[in-house]
């Protein structure tokens, strides 16, 4: 599931292959960009901003968001793709590489001017040069009645935490995902743990929150409903949380380690 660390790794891999390279052909396969041609432009940098991936081309920026199923792949010219061609949303050719964005949830081309403000709504990037723990802490604490998991998921508070990390963090600090922020003993410590987790996983192929990299032992609660809690042995539960009925998130917790709020 793409979260801030996933996008950071994707941007790092793309940057290694593409930074400084000239686009010799571009093929945008979404209706709104069907006639867009960015060939002849140099890729100045590829970078992430929270869950957003940005390719700087001087006068334009290619913006993508992986959402649930998106991914970026790199191939040699003429190489066999690992995903079906009908899932490709954009194909970018340089002399030595072909970058393919598959099943991208969002794909846009901004002018350089548009790009300067398009993501201003995001909070500090947990993996970015603008990371500001104090600002993120103030943002999370600003709504004390809000559920902890939803506060962590709000990209306006801090950019990069997704559903996996939000629920793993709730378990680590012993709070039910729907417990209000007001009961968090130390919001700054929670925010610091979020930053530490994402940084530790930023260049790993496998996400791990338990410290145990063995297969099947990487996570505390996420995706483990019905299985025993790694701390107390109680069967883990699964439910839904959310502030919008149309945007509910799957939730996992231990009823003993993380008792439901009163």
Residues with catalytic function = 2-3, 51
Pairs from 25-31 (Cβ < 8 Å, separation ≥ 24): 25/91, 25/92, 25/93, 26/90, 26/91, 26/92, 26/93, 27/90, 27/91, 27/92, 27/93, 28/89, 28/90, 28/107, 28/109, 29/88, 29/89, 29/90, 29/91, 30/89, 30/90, 30/107
Rounded Cα distance between 109 and 194, Å, is 31
Two tokens, residue 21: 């390279």
Rounded to the nearest angstrom, the gap between the alpha carbon of residue 244 and the centroid of all alpha carbons in its chain is: 20
């Amino acid at each position: 599931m793409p979260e801030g660390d996933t996008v950071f790794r994707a941007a790092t891999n793309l940057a290694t292959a593409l930074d400084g390279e000239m686009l010799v052909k571009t093929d945008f396969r979404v209706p709104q960009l069907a006639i867009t041609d960015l060939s002849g432009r140099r890729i100045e940098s590829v970078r992430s901003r929270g869950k957003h991936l940005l390719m700087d081309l001087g006068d334009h920026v290619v913006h993508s968001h992986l959402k649930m199923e998106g991914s970026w792949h790199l191939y040699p010219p003429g190489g066999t793709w690992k995903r079906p061609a009908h899932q490709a949303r954009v194909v970018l050719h340089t002399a030595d590489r072909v970058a393919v964005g598959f099943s991208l949830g969002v794909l846009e081309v901004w002018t350089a001017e548009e790009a300067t403000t398009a993501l201003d709504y995001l909070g500090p990037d947990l993996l970015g040069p603008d990371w500001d723990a104090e600002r993120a802490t103030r943002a999370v604490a600003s709504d004390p009645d809000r559920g902890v998991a939803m506060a962590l998921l709000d990209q306006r508070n801090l950019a990069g935490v997704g559903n996996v990390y939000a629920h793993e963090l709730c378990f680590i600090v012993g709070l039910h995902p729907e417990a209000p922020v007001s009961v968090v003993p130390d919001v700054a410590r929670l925010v610091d743990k979020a930053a530490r987790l994402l940084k530790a996983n930023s260049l790993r192929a496998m996400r791990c929150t338990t410290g145990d990299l063995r297969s099947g032992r990487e996570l505390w609660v996420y995706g483990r409903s019905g299985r025993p809690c790694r701390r107390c042995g109680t069967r883990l539960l699964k439910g839904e949380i959310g502030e919008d009925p149309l945007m509910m998130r799957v939730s996992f917790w231990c009823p003993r380690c993380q008792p439901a709020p009163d």
